Structures are given as C-alpha cells and as structure tokens.
Structure 1
C-alpha cells in the first residue's frame, strides 16, 4: 500500500532510489499516462491511445506497453529496451502533492515534491541518494523535480486536449484484434481518434486544433499505431 509523504531533507536524509528498471521495481504495467509534450518521443516506440476515467467521466492519453494486464513488453533482463521512457514512469517513486500555504494573507495550494515510501525503488542501502550530505538536492532529485514540473503542466495540457476532442466528438471506443501465439486476442478498453470525423471538420475547427497544437498531437497518435506490430513481435517471443 502506498505511503505518501512530503519530501524533506531531515526525515528522508538517508533515502536512496534504485534506478534499475524491472518488474520488481513497479515497471510491469501495460498502460501508462502519456503527455502531449512527449508525444514526439513516445510515438517512435509505443502505440498511443486514450483511456476513459470513469471516476470523473474524462479521458487521458496513454502509451501501450503490453498486451495483457501487468505486462510491459519493453522490460528485458538488461532493462527497459526503448530509447525513451514515459514521464509517468520516469517520475517514480516521486509524485506531486499540494500543501496549503498563506501568501499575502491568502491561503493557496502550493505544489510540493512527495515520495511513496513503500515504493520498491525506495531503499536505505541501494541506489542513488536523494539528498547530498549537506542537505542539498542530489542530481537525482533535481532531475525528478524537473520531471514532476513537466508532469504538472502536462496534466493541464491533457485535460484541455481531451476536453476539446470530446466536444468535437473525435474520440471513439476501439477494440484491437491481435494475432499472436497462434490465436486472435481482443484488447478492449481503449479509445482512439475518430479519423472519419477528423476528416470532416470545418476549416475553422481545424484551425482551432492547429492553433492549440492539437492537430500535430493527433497525427502523432495516429502514426504511433504502427508500433502495434512491434508489440506483437515482442509478444511472439514471450512464453505462450
């Protein structure tokens, strides 16, 4: 069970983070959140889709890492075999939290760096230190903080992106029929860009998408589906 705490250089001065990639360190997931700012890197390696979040009836972009729950086909004995690791995986075991602080007499929710103390990457003896001996941030923590800042901004971008697509009815439920190990398997629960509706948008609607940077994002998502063949190839090399 996760144990989230606001990171500080006194309580957590001896914490170290294991940077090795593997199933034992929380990397064995089949889907992970993707952010618009990283679509260019992601589409070279992973199929990109959307998933529906029933808790608030919204959507978010995701990168497909495996074809079964709890499966990451990019994990090999020598580590994560791709040229880019999604931000949502890079940030572990750190996450963004919020603390109430008073600024100019006005209470505000301020983002702070938190850590999941129960995450398998967290150690007292292995890995890279989070803090320097003098209490300063280590290079690892500096990098993690930069990733979290990208993610915080990315969540806002994703929300606006998906809301616009939903308003234009550009999201459609998708079932992938995939052939591997001598049988056809169906992968459900994903959503994709409704190409037919995209092609019927008015010039004004296309201009809106172009101005917001969403049109390029949509084309990158469409191009990324070519990576499904790579997943199938990896799947065929897995035990049946």
Structure 2
C-alpha cells in the first residue's frame, strides 16, 4: 500500500533506501515511463515507443525492457545489466508532490510503503547525522527535477506530434531462435515518411520549440530492437 508523505529531515532522519536492482523492489517491468528531455540518454540503450493508455487521450513515452508483461531483460538477479537506468525507475521510492491546487513548487515526497524503504542498517541514508541531505538524496532530487520538468513539457511535445500526425501505429513480430514469436502490439512510433515530408518552416518551428531533437532520438532508439531480441534469445538459452 502506498504511503506518500513529504520528506522531512526530522521525521526521516534515519531513513534508508535500498538501491540494488531486484524484482521484489519493483524492477520486474516490461517498460518504464520516459520523457522527451531524457530521450537522448535513453536512446543508446532501450527502444522508445509511444502508447495511449486505455480511456486516456494523451500518449506517454516508454523505454522498453522486454516483450512480456513483468519481464525485464535488463534485470539479472540483483544486477541492473545496462549502463543507464531511466529516471522513473532510478528515483523510486521518491516522487514530486504538489499542493492539491496543483500550483506552487514541487516538494520531494517519499512512498513509505514502497519495498525500497530499508530496515535496520541496510540501504543508503537520505539524511546524514546532522540532518543534511546526503549526496544520494541530492542526486535523487536532481533526477526528480528533470523528470518533473519533462512531464510538464511533454504536453506540448505530444500536441506537436498530434498536430503534424507524426505518430503511426506499430506492431512488431519478434522472431526467436527456437522458431517462436512474440508480438508487440498497441504501440506507436514516429512516422518517418511524414517527418521527411514536412517543409522547412514547420521543421524550424519544431526545432525552435525543442521538439525536433527528441523526435530524432526516438527514431534512433529503434536500432536497439535487434539488441533486445538478442538479449531475449540469450535469456531463453540461459
């Protein structure tokens, strides 16, 4: 059960957080949310796909870790087998909280019900003995700020994709070494033909708005599919 509370240096003076990778700690996921200002970091490691959640009009961007729900091909026991960990996973169990009105600066909140909350002497300290933020918390706060800024900017990004019809449905049949296949359905990717057909003025506007670079990064990320399929085949033979 989630228990979101504002992080407090007095109430949480001795709080520790487990940072290792583990299915029990929430890492056994097929994909995780990412945001346009993170695409440059993500594209060198994971495919970036877009998905519209059922009953919602807006798209979200996802960094893909596998082809089956609950199966993360980058999770190797207690080891994260990649050189990058997307922000939405790296910040857990922390999150940004805001007043009920939605206005005002964000606060660092923590989910005290999350399995990463450590007991005893395990994990990383959030505050030192004098109540100051540890380097661990400073790094978390930096990622939280970047993720929050990305979420706030994503509305304009997805509106631009929608206005120029730059998302197309995407289905992938994943052939495996044993002859079986996995189907990846319900996702979208950037429509490269429509992107190439845009005139210079439109491309200039997308660039000026900061949308063109993440579009290119999302396209570049699709080259990671072959490595992901190879990883899936190795997992089957392991």
Q: Determine if contact 2:21/2:77 at 8 Å carries over to the other structure.
A: no
| Alpha-carbon distance between aligned partners in 2 of 1:217 and 1:66, rounded to the nearest angstrom | 22
Larger strand proportion of the pair: 1
What's 1:116 paired with?
111
Q: Which runs of 5+ in 2 are unaligned?
A: none
TM value normalised by structure 1: 0.91
What's 2:153 paired with?
157
TM value normalised by structure 2: 0.92
| Alpha-carbon distance between aligned partners in 2 of 1:136 and 1:220, rounded to the nearest angstrom | 38
Query: For residues 107-149 of structure 1, what are the alpha-carbon distances to aligned partners after superposition, in whole Å with 9 as ceiling and x for unaligned?
Result: 9533111111111111132101111111111111111111111
Q: Secondary structure at the match of 2:130?
A: coil
- Rate the CA distance shift 1:76–1:108 in 2: closer, same or farther, 3 A: closer
The CA deviation at 1:10 is 2.2
Q: Determine if contact 1:60/1:159 at 8 Å carries over to the other structure.
A: no
What's 1:183 paired with?
180
- Rate the CA distance shift 1:95–1:199 in 2: closer, same or farther, 3 A: same
Q: Determine if contact 2:17/2:116 at 8 Å carries over to the other structure.
A: yes
Query: For residues 46-88 of structure 1, what are the alpha-carbon distances to aligned partners after superposition, in whole Å with 9 as ceiling and x for unaligned?
Result: 0011111345410122110111111111111351111111111
Q: Determine if contact 1:14/1:124 at 8 Å carries over to the other structure.
A: no
- Taking the TM superposition and a 5 Å limit, the aligned residue runs for 1:9-88 are 9-77=9-77, 79-88=79-88
Query: For residues 86-114 of structure 1, what are the alpha-carbon distances to aligned partners after superposition, in whole Å with 9 as ceiling and x for unaligned?
Result: 1111111100001369xxxxx95331111
CA RMSD of aligned residues (A): 1.8
Q: Secondary structure at the match of 2:105?
A: strand
| Alpha-carbon distance between aligned partners in 2 of 1:132 and 1:99, rounded to the nearest angstrom | 27
The CA deviation at 1:157 is 2.0
Q: Determine if contact 2:20/2:78 at 8 Å carries over to the other structure.
A: no
